[in-house]
Structure 1
Amino acid sequence: MSLQADTPAPPAARVHRFSRAERWVHRTTAALMGLCVATAAVLYIPQLAIMVGRRELVVRVHECAGLALPVPVLLGLASRAFRADLRFLNRFGPHDRTWLWAAVSRDKRRSSRPAGKFNAGQKVYAAWIAGATLVMLGTGLMMWFTHLTPLMWRTSATFVHDWLALTIGVVLAGHIGMALGDPEARRGLRTGRVSQEWAKREHPLWRP
């Protein structure tokens, strides 16, 4: 009798991938980002605004969630495992270029997509979302504290903030879609462990 694809592997066949601190950072950041996106949708989509009401409260929740967004990452720096993963995410090697070329050319062969602990797509996503978060925080502060900057700056900040928010929503939808298609990756973020078979197949250059 064969095990189903979504059945967890036995404990002996599983390897450690993420520490408790790393999982906490991911969950908290995801919750805050989700809150920012949800409140932004209520503020900018008239149908949702009418349905929810209480615009002033929604604005305050959006602002507080946005200000708190960098906090989990800053607290996570106290974890050695988290700092090590940041170094992995910040380094691109020849195998990452190979992975990106295979992704662009739609080459789905596993041998064409070598990856360490994080593949090149995950590295690009992490860098992009980190930069986008900082831009959103900066433009949001300019929109919040209107007396600190000239009108032209505030107008430009509003334009950048609104369109980047839309882009973040699209990118997050893609990120969630990829996660939904990989139960073992989700299990790794939930429990901290993944199957050896998955690790060798998806991240062959990773040595846990």
Structure 2
Amino acid sequence: MPLRADTPPATADVRRFTPLQRWIHRTTAALMGICIITAACLYVPQLAELVGRRALVVTLHQWSGLALPVPVLAGLASRAFRADLGRLNRFGPHDRTWLRAALHRDKRHASRPAAKFNAGQKLYASWIAGATLVMLGTGLIMWFTHLTPLLWRTSATFVHDWLALTIGIALAGHIGMALADPESRRGMRTGRVSRTWAEREHPLWRQ
């Protein structure tokens, strides 16, 4: 179903995100970026030697990781943000159609029906939210070493390190997809997208 017929002409922009939603995204991205950069400085010998000040890097890594859920928790005060969380958590028949088309590399827009968020965005959001919680839990076990037995700390370190690698790969893919879609980036930067783009990429999205 297309966007409602009583909306402005196709050349007009439509609002995709509120200022608070964009702030949540940017703040979370900044915190995640600090976590990744500091992790690289801790685990890559060449970077560790270049940066030095290991204690400061560890502190930045710990506190940025601890603060990661804060923007999302703060965003729960926004009705628009809660509505988008609900959309991301609902997986309908059109999402299965989108995934089948993506797996078969069918790039025709008609084969990839999507509402405000497509199936790929929903899967990514769910995965990164779960991975962040696991990283937070394992990080706390590694931080407060005196509260847990050695086996727990060893297991937490293993999970934390390997999950960090997969998060880095997933984020690289996320950034790559964003770079390939200037209109989507404009939506996150300004909060508005063209109606033509919305009808083409998200035909089931109703304003």
Which TM-score applies when normalising by structure 1? 0.94
Deviations 1:104-158 (A, max 9, x none): 1111111110000000000000000000000000000000000111100100000
**TM alignment of 1:98-177, pairs within 5 A:** 98-177=97-176
1:64 aligns with 2:63: yes
Alpha-carbon distance, 1:207 to partner: 1.2
Aligned to 1:92: 91
Aligned to 1:47: 46
Aligned to 1:5: none
Structure 1 ranges of 4+ moved more than 3 A: none
Alpha-carbon distance, 1:11 to partner: 11
Higher relative contact order (CA 8 A, sep 6+): 2
Residues 11 and 195 of structure 2 are in contact (CA less than 8 Å); yes or no, is this contact kept in structure 1? no
- Give the letter for the 1:24 counterpart: W
For 1:119 and 1:176, locate their aligned partners in 2 and report how far apart those are by CA, in whole Å. Answer: 16
For 2:49 and 2:99, locate their aligned partners in 1 and report how far apart those are by CA, in whole Å. Answer: 43
Residues 142 and 153 of structure 2 are in contact (CA less than 8 Å); yes or no, is this contact kept in structure 1? yes
Aligned to 1:31: 30
- Give the letter for the 2:191 counterpart: G
Identity value in percent:
78
Residues 11 and 194 of structure 2 are in contact (CA less than 8 Å); yes or no, is this contact kept in structure 1? no
Alpha-carbon distance, 1:12 to partner: 6.4
For 2:90 and 2:185, locate their aligned partners in 1 and report how far apart those are by CA, in whole Å. Answer: 23
Structure 2 unaligned blocks of 5 or more: 1-8
The 1:78–1:44 alpha-carbon spacing in structure 2 relative to 1, beyond 3 Å, is: same
Deviations 1:24-54 (A, max 9, x none): 1000000000110010011000111011000
Aligned-pair RMSD on alpha carbons? 1.2
Equivalenced residue count is 199
**TM alignment of 1:162-201, pairs within 5 A:** 162-201=161-200
- Give the letter for the 1:114 counterpart: P
For 1:72 and 1:57, locate their aligned partners in 2 and report how far apart those are by CA, in whole Å. Answer: 23
The 1:23–1:11 alpha-carbon spacing in structure 2 relative to 1, beyond 3 Å, is: farther
For 2:102 and 2:85, locate their aligned partners in 1 and report how far apart those are by CA, in whole Å. Answer: 23
Structure 1 unaligned blocks of 5 or more: 1-9
1:82 aligns with 2:81: yes
The 1:11–1:102 alpha-carbon spacing in structure 2 relative to 1, beyond 3 Å, is: closer
Alpha-carbon distance, 1:16 to partner: 0.7
